[in-house]
Structure 1
């Protein structure tokens, strides 16, 4: 079995992006793409040259085949992407916007991925990875995926693997706000690195300042917390230090979806490669900035050469 740098898991969907601005029910033409926070990160890691793997279930349908083919093209390991002939692959519609967040409508209830359970967990596959990156989304999709996620987290921690956790809150997936907060935090407390957005952090901790949000998780044993501040960059805090890394200036924002996942790719890859937390956060800011300049969720994620070129260019611009 191939040795992996990073493994992740979750649900991927076919995504139909409106070709022109307007409400979803008014648009006639869409372009098909791939959607999924965890597949975004798997693709991002692979583009940087890391060996990444993604575990999931897809339906025995055209959308499932599309997802598998797309990830193969991106050099993501899909040995643990199972095909389930009883349930369909989910999909979503996304509007085209030039400002603010797009309108998104999901068709995922009862999907193949929502039936991924602990019996589908392959210990050998997960042990082949140095690091587990997970989001809070599988914790909310279904009871099956929640059990899978909690098992994966416990298993990797016991195996001595490092774990990063991005809350990626999706309130519509949960029965209640209180349940979302409790279960998501339970997962976050077990991670080494937690990556909330500033608004997510406020929901999960009750605090508004990034310093207080970070402290909340550090007091639970988390090693390092990086709070995303949007265009202002990111704040980081460890048990021994803290700081803020400014974001990169972007002239034109095309689509903000996928920026947070790109940020996670930068931070986690940097930490795995031995960068300081400040430099890892700077890399995360760079990939996040590149991500929002493209329409698709992961289209803007750079190769290693493109990332170096972009960061060097931005450095020279500052000088």
Structure 2
């Protein structure tokens, strides 16, 4: 029987500079990157991947819908907003590290939780749900409360809900607003996928173990604390474990590494693997992604990785 993974957030137009100095258009965004990864790493016959957002009624929005659907991701619950468009960002690359400039004030995704009933229908049949701090940050306080309420209902039904704080200070009114938003996100989740340096910078955690303890205090049951090339600290089933990352000698592009880790972790958990096995797989996926250009790795490479892992029984 097929299951359904639902990712909620904002997909944007990506303008990446080429070697010739021109810009190449693409589509990406943290929650879309993770949905893309889960789609590539799993068997389409066994798992449906659904993306929930809103887009405008213009040509770029239509192009985005075709792109998402063309990747094998269910776009049937992506609504359209008259007079709106989609967000856009430009990338500057310094070695393998990137910086970003954003234009998203008129993004239709800001209205993804404007109608509680529509949002509830979009999450019907979900077996696993994922959202991020960026998902929360782009919403008004009222719409944020709507989303968190619908997610709390899903959690109460026994649906695993995963949350990555994915901290972006510029999207929030200030540190207190950011802290409150992230705490609310984690309280709605059963699975936490934080990044230690970001969480430590905001909350003052001295170690990944402190991050685990804080999230456990919010009621998060399963926690994988990412820390770049450093080991991941996992808390699951009442015990903690530190699991080394996969070393990459010469990374090409670290964009989307965290999103790729999340995709690997979620795909493995949906495949029935233990949390520790999921972390090891997620490390391998992230290592593959940072060895390639761009946040969205070619689906063929992801399928090869996913198929190879399933054959090996990892």
TM-score (norm 1): 0.88
Q: State which drifts further: 282-291 or 296-305.
A: 296-305
The structural deviation recorded for 1:32 is 1.1
What is the aligned partner in structure 1 of residue 12 from structure 2?
13
Distance change in 2, residues 1:234/1:312 (3 Å): farther
Matched, 1:115 2:111: yes
Paired residues, number: 306
Match of 1:131 among 122, 128, 131: 128
Out of 40, 63, 73, the position equivalent to 1:47 is: 40
1:256 to 254, 257, 261: 254
**Residue 23 of structure 1 corresponds to which residue in structure 2?**
none
Specify the alignment match of 2:64 in structure 1.
67
Q: Which has the higher contact order (CA 8 A, sep 6+)?
A: 2
- Structure 2: any 5+ residue segments left out of the alignment? none
CA distance in 1, matches of 2:211, 2:59: 43
Aligned twin of 1:24: none
| C-alpha deviation, 1:125, in angstroms | 3.2
Matching residue of 1:212:
210
> Do the aligned partners of 1:90 and 1:108 also contact (CA within 8 Å) in 2?
yes
Q: How far 1:97 moved relative to its partner?
A: 2.9
CA distance in structure 2 between the partners assigned to 1:280 and 1:65 by the alignment? 35
| Structure 1 equivalent of residue 180 of structure 2 | 182
Q: Normalised by the size of structure 2, how large is the TM-score?
A: 0.90
Q: Choose from 249, 263, 266 the match for 1:265.
A: 263
CA shift, 1:142, in A, is 2.8
After superposition, the Cα gap between the structure-2 partners of 1:274 and 1:310, relative to the gap in structure 1 and judged at 3 Å, is: closer
Whether the 8 Å contact between 1:4 and 1:53 is mirrored in structure 2 is: no
- TM-aligned CA distance change 1:229 to 1:167, over 3 Å: same
The 3-state SS of whatever aligns with 1:253 is coil
Residues 267, 94 of structure 1: CA spacing in aligned structure 2 closer, same or farther, 3 A cutoff?
same
Aligned-pair CA distance for 1:62: 2.5
Report the Cα distance in structure 2 between the residues aligned to 1:236 and 1:129, rounded to whole angstroms: 25
Partner residue of 1:236?
A: 234
- Quote the Cα distance in structure 2 between the aligned partners of 1:138 and 1:192: 17
Aligned Cα RMSD in Å?
2.4
